[in-house]
A and B are shown apart, each in its own frame.
Chain A
């Protein structure tokens, strides 16, 4: 079982709709979770971090964490064409203290 798993997509969403991205992880004691956005040929950039169960909102982005289900998600409201990118989920694996990434979900927002 991979330590961090995402649906690789591609995910296509119409402009103005909500995009929902999902991630599961295997280490039950992981404590910190991150979403990165990566445009083609560019470096990943951090868009959200979450540490506690529940929702965390930042502008059009909402991260959701459910530690019991070992599940973290990212919602993008009012999707814009500029949101088209690959979204990477990352989890700090507590025991080894390493930051592990999922395979990424490629998102396309259609005008």
Chain B
């Protein structure tokens, strides 16, 4: 089983719908991240969390919200999906400051 698991792997949804992407990890890491990837734009940080009570906005948080339900779970919500939120979304975890991130398999989201 993967250490960082994202569900669903693929999703097509309609404009205006609410959708949640889920991430769970078995690595025991405190830090969790949500990134979005668009062609030619690399990985852009949406939200990140140091622990259950510490959640921070990244560079592109507008239109997204997150919930850290437990140390091992970090979900990303799109309250009202729009087509320009069509992208590949990655969850990642990290052990602490100055450490690398470990990625989930990604969720390909299409908003029509």
Assess the A102–B100 pair: CB atoms within 8 A.
Answer: no
Number of interface residues of B (CB under 8 A): 26
Instruction: For B92, list chain A residues within 8 Å (CB).
Output: 99
Instruction: For A101, list chain B residues within 8 Å (CB).
Output: 35, 42-45
Instruction: For A51, list chain B residues within 8 Å (CB).
Output: 98
Binds B, one of A54-62, A65-73, A90-98: A90-98
Chain B min CB distance to A47 (Å): 10
Number of chain A interface residues as a range: 20 to 34
Assess the A8–B40 pair: CB atoms within 8 A.
Answer: yes
Assess the A44–B94 pair: CB atoms within 8 A.
Answer: no
Please tell me if A19 contacts chain B, counting CB pairs below 8 Å. Answer: no
Please tell me if A110 contacts chain B, counting CB pairs below 8 Å. Answer: no
Assess the B98–A92 pair: CB atoms within 8 A.
Answer: yes
Assess the B48–A98 pair: CB atoms within 8 A.
Answer: yes
Q: Output the residue of A42, A94, A99, A104 with the most chain B CB within 10 A.
A: A99
Assess the A43–B99 pair: CB atoms within 8 A.
Answer: no
Instruction: For B42, list chain A residues within 8 Å (CB).
Output: 6, 88, 101-104
Partner of A97, one of B40, B97, B102, B104: B97
A76 to B108, CA, bound (A): 30
- Known A88-B43, A98-B58; judge A31-B98 contact (CB<8 A): yes
Instruction: For B58, list chain A residues within 8 Å (CB).
Output: 98
Assess the B100–A49 pair: CB atoms within 8 A.
Answer: yes
Q: List 26 A-B contacts (CB under 8 A).
A: A6-B42, A31-B98, A32-B99, A32-B100, A42-B106, A43-B103, A43-B104, A46-B100, A49-B100, A90-B43, A90-B101, A94-B97, A96-B56, A98-B45, A98-B56, A98-B58, A99-B45, A99-B92, A99-B100, A100-B59, A101-B35, A101-B42, A101-B43, A101-B44, A102-B42, A104-B42
Q: Which 5 A/B pairs are nearest by Cβ-Cβ distance?
A: A103-B42, A32-B98, A101-B43, A43-B103, A104-B42
